[in-house]
Structure 1
């Protein structure tokens, strides 16, 4: 019998980590992000044309002028980048690897991938995201954070299990925390229900990643957010207003949710 993959296990190692603020080129050390030779690590690289890959399509080829080593810029996966993006997108929505494998067969890609391979892809690219985030992390601290949640609908596999049998779709709640001054997306907690506990988990996750605490928290009129904030930061100032009181009260994080829905 196939082992059931729980959402909690998935979110243990998968956290949405996206830099939403504009990049200041004056603050970046460009040689650190430039293409480097895998052998001698120098940046004295020249373009050597293209080569055809059966799964990835056209891949750029390069040559190092110092050690004459030739290499390509192919990413670490045997599958096209569109397929990897499709897998990661379904993962964020809370689907299990078995469901993702079934949907891949029915998608326009029509690729058969095992559950273990999907797990390996997720873990590999999450590690890459974390490395990239450390390099691009914005150093500006923000005195104000905003918190809000949004429901995300996703399709289910027709096979399903005893809990999802007969249901064609479902949804999860994604609770996000955003630093206002730096526009940095600090955390996203995925849960099956909307509760104060999910808000608390998102806030504590944001505090661990930011390495500092805010002076002010802004949220809508949902009581669960207020309880989660009070549990994490008992003495912080909370500015809570419903959309009826002030529609643009949390406009920054609402813009983030609009971006998520467009990309969904």
Structure 2
């Protein structure tokens, strides 16, 4: 879906943003509510053989505008937008070419850029380039995030990758001992995860993302240990862009009230600095006031972009976020519970980084959401090691 400039397209999206305005009565038939009176117009779609793939169907509507112009009216556009939303992939979106990110070497002592190569340093993990500063004569090697670590980068990044793919810490330790001949304790694994997630989280926040105009929001539960209670759940809120699959916000709250629903929406706004044309949510009542409070614009053509779904079967649906929630549950099923809200928040931030930058997404042809959002990071080979190196040197 491109930026909308056609007035009838904008009116069609305005129709879609209101509840119960489009009712599918047949395979290629819809009733669309009128904006000016209490009535419905019938929209039909007919397959035309021999047409090019861009215009396979012939659309008709019973409204006066279509009868006069014989061109797509706002009711037809509303149905077409509904069908696009149901697929949740915007067909003509292509990622820009991402250039290789160059790391500029600076002297850690005086921060000068006047450095030259001064030989090779041999370590237990291989050869490392040594540099010298021509201003202060300081010699150094570039810290790519693994300086003074007892274990090599491969072992550490393998641990991170297995963790976010749903493998327990005990099984990770067993895997490293069996295949890498390395003995690592579970507390060491946890310390690596916390250290590098903090580093990557700060680095990823530096970039503004280029996203589409349709967002999805949903929430899922996470179990927290709480003294005196057998089961105590908190909520992870996710906001995702439909075009790039980029996870704009991932935050943990204790409740599901209006203020809780506003937190991830505020975070999503700060990441993109754009106002979406539509925000698709489930029927949670808190979204109604939260979306209005964060995105209502009296001067915009679509004043309130909220699209509230009645049920799981209604189109458009929230399936892309339901699939994301499944990915989260694959990890939380192994963790079982967190010791505190802070631990759950660290986990959510880590999953957001993993989902956006590391994990290939089959819905966007095996690319990462960060690539689709035109973030200038080229992660090749060991994506964990490359991103940690970039974060440590920036």
Q: Paired residue for 2:136?
A: 67
Please show how residues 220-259 of structure 1 align to structure 2 within 5 Å: 225=282, 227=284, 233=291, 236-238=305-307, 255=363, 258-259=366-367
Q: Does 1:138 align with 2:180?
A: no
Q: Paired residue for 1:85?
A: 157
Deviation at 1:236, TM superposition (A): 3.8
Q: Paired residue for 2:247?
A: 185
Alpha carbons of structure 1 residues 243 and 115: separation in structure 2 relative to 1, 3 Å: same
Please show how residues 9-28 of structure 1 align to structure 2 within 5 Å: none
What TM-score do the two structures reach when normalised by structure 1?
Answer: 0.53
From 260, 276, 283, the equivalent of 1:215 is 276
Aligned length: 197
Deviation at 1:112, TM superposition (A): 1.0
Secondary structure, aligned partner of 1:123? helix
Q: Paired residue for 1:35?
A: 105
Q: Following the alignment from structure 1 to structure 2, what is the Cα–Cα distance between the partners of residues 43 and 101?
A: 41
Deviation at 1:129, TM superposition (A): 0.8
Deviation at 1:22, TM superposition (A): 5.3
Unaligned 5+ residue runs, structure 1?
1-20, 150-173, 191-196
Q: Following the alignment from structure 1 to structure 2, what is the Cα–Cα distance between the partners of residues 90 and 189?
A: 23
Q: Following the alignment from structure 2 to structure 1, what is the Cα–Cα distance between the partners of residues 248 and 137?
A: 42
Q: Does 1:113 align with 2:184?
A: yes
Deviation at 1:185, TM superposition (A): 3.5
Secondary structure, aligned partner of 2:189? helix
* RMSD of equivalent CA atoms: 4.8
Deviation at 1:111, TM superposition (A): 1.4
Alpha carbons of structure 1 residues 119 and 232: separation in structure 2 relative to 1, 3 Å: farther
**Which structure's relative contact order is higher, taking Cα pairs within 8 Å and 6+ residues apart?**
2
Alpha carbons of structure 1 residues 84 and 94: separation in structure 2 relative to 1, 3 Å: same
Q: Following the alignment from structure 1 to structure 2, what is the Cα–Cα distance between the partners of residues 22 and 175?
A: 29
